[in-house]
Amino acid sequence: MQIGFIGLGIMGRPMALNLKAAGHTLIVPDRKSLSDDLREAASVVGDAAAVAEAAEVVILMLPDTPDVERVLFGAHGVAEGLTAGKLIIDMSSISPIATKGFAARINALGCVYLDAPVSGGEVGAKAATLTIMVGGPEAAFARARPLFEVMGKNITLVGAENGDGQTCKVANQIIVALTIQAVGEALTFARKAGADPARVRQALMGGFASSRILEVHGERMINHSFAPGFRIRLHQKDLSLALSAAREMGMALPNTAVAQQMFSTVVAQGGADLDHSALIRAIERMAGMPD
């Protein structure tokens, strides 16, 4: 397929290169930050509208809701280059409510829209093992599935309505944040009590407390190695989406709110671009322990 890809950051770049390696033609907008390997792998065009003109399918992988809106509907945006029948796939993690509105505007142009946010971080993007949560028409999902299978392993059509994929991703981010907080508290408790947190983690990995977060982020926490796989500021954004939607629905997410405050503590101390496992820094400081 002729694939337009917009948003070539930590995760978007390896996702796009995996599509190229699978034999698809890659079309990307020109940016000063565009890496040499992408310039060699892709057809580089002037802007998002030109990407949409040249592509059958346009994939977005952008940081936040306003970025998606700007790229889709701003000056020289994707919408300006669309013709009927093209497929737009937004793999960013953004507002489910805004997603419904974006989809309606794209549908009005005779095109089809899928929201397909992902989980798995940079590691999953590079290894093509992302979890992909999709909202939108089943026929469009079937059309996109061969592309999803190049980028991920656990691929689910969550629902036939646009926004269903984003709702699933918000739920995922709640679980991930609270589990990071739980692992951080447990390892800090062990360290404060005088036990070796590395050995505690090793023991817990064999029991009911075992999890992928204990395995991967637990090791990061013990080593204080917080090079970003998924930045705190992006997880903050996702929890803000959860809390905002909860307010609209008249429900409480008390533990999600606490996790958001923990992230905010780390951000206030200059850690916005650290990996989200750095949440443990807030817990350690509350325990009177050095980093």
Confidence tier at 150 by pLDDT (50, 70, 90):
very high
Whether 76 and 21 have beta carbons less than 8 Å apart is answered as no
Whether 115 and 164 have beta carbons less than 8 Å apart is answered as yes
Predicted confidence (pLDDT) per residue in 85-131, tens digit: 999 999 999 999 999 999 999 999 999 999 999 998 888 999 999 99
pTM, 2 dp: 0.89
Predicted confidence (pLDDT) per residue in 73-83, tens digit: 999 999 999 99
CA 72 to CA 81: how far, in whole Å?
A: 10
Could you count the other beta carbons within 10 Å of the beta carbon of residue 202? Answer: 11
Choose, from 20, 100, 153, 169, the residue flagged as catalytic. 169
pLDDT score recorded for residue 205:
96
- Residue 291: is its pLDDT beyond 80? no
Half-sphere exposure of 260 (CA within 13 A, CB side): 16
pLDDT score recorded for residue 195:
98
The per-residue pLDDT of the chain, averaged, comes to: 96
Whether 158 and 148 have beta carbons less than 8 Å apart is answered as no
Percentage of residues of the chain with pLDDT beyond 70: 100
The yes-or-no answer on residue 169 being catalytic is yes
Whether 240 and 199 have beta carbons less than 8 Å apart is answered as no
pLDDT score recorded for residue 35:
86
